[in-house]
Every structure is written in C-alpha cells, then in structure tokens.
Amino acid sequence: MKKLPIGDNIRLVRNRLGYSQEYVAERLGISKQRYRQLENEDQKSLTIGRILEIAIILQTDIETLFSIHRIKFKNEDVDMQPTESQLDELLYLIKDQKVLIDDIHKNMKS
C-alpha cells in the first residue's frame, strides 16, 4: 500500500511557519523523538484525531495536510522541492485557513 505524503506535508507546513519539531511535540504532549516518527510517516499510529491536533497547532486543517501536492519524477522515490511560488501559495492557504479557524472559534464563543 502506497503511503500518503502526509508526514512530508506536515513538515512542509511546520517549516513554513518556522515551528520546530520540539515546539509541536510539546504542544502535542509527546516526545520530540515520537513526533519525528510521525513526520516520517509512522502511519500505523497517525490517527485522524492526531492529525487534527497537528492541524490546529499548525493553524491549518486536515484537508490541507492531506492535499498539498508533491511533484513526482518517474522514479516515485525522488521528490522535487517545492518552488517559491508553491510555498507562497501554501502560506496564503495557511493564512486563509487561520482566518476561518478564528471565525469558527469566535462563533463557538458567541
């Protein structure tokens, strides 16, 4: 079974925000080593609940973490680094998702 690139997507968003693995691990209440395993796609223990927790910390949503597209060569083991425009688009999406999350939180408090 082919693995989803969710660990890579989480890493991409985390790095774009400037968050360290230690920071995210601490927010999740797990060790840095355990968090590193999650980013390296230890999918057996990566539940939707855990992905949601990570998405909240990274100020995004689950759909974003699942849907960031990665460019593949014919050899599927080789990934091309995202371009600056792709990273800019990702940052825009993250900011947009943060606005939506903030609105949801405000509506929940009302």
Residue type, 84: E
| DSSP for residue 5 | T
pLDDT of 33 > 60? The answer is yes
Residue 56 pLDDT? 93
| Residue with the larger pLDDT of the pair 69 and 77 | 69
Residue 80 pLDDT? 52
Main-chain phi, psi angles of 2, to 5 degrees: -75, 135
pLDDT of 28 > 80? The answer is yes
Rounded CA separation 100/106 (Å): 10
Nearby residues of 48 by Cβ (< 8 Å), 6 or more positions away: 62
Residue 75 pLDDT? 44
Residue type, 45: S
0.85 surpassed by pTM: no
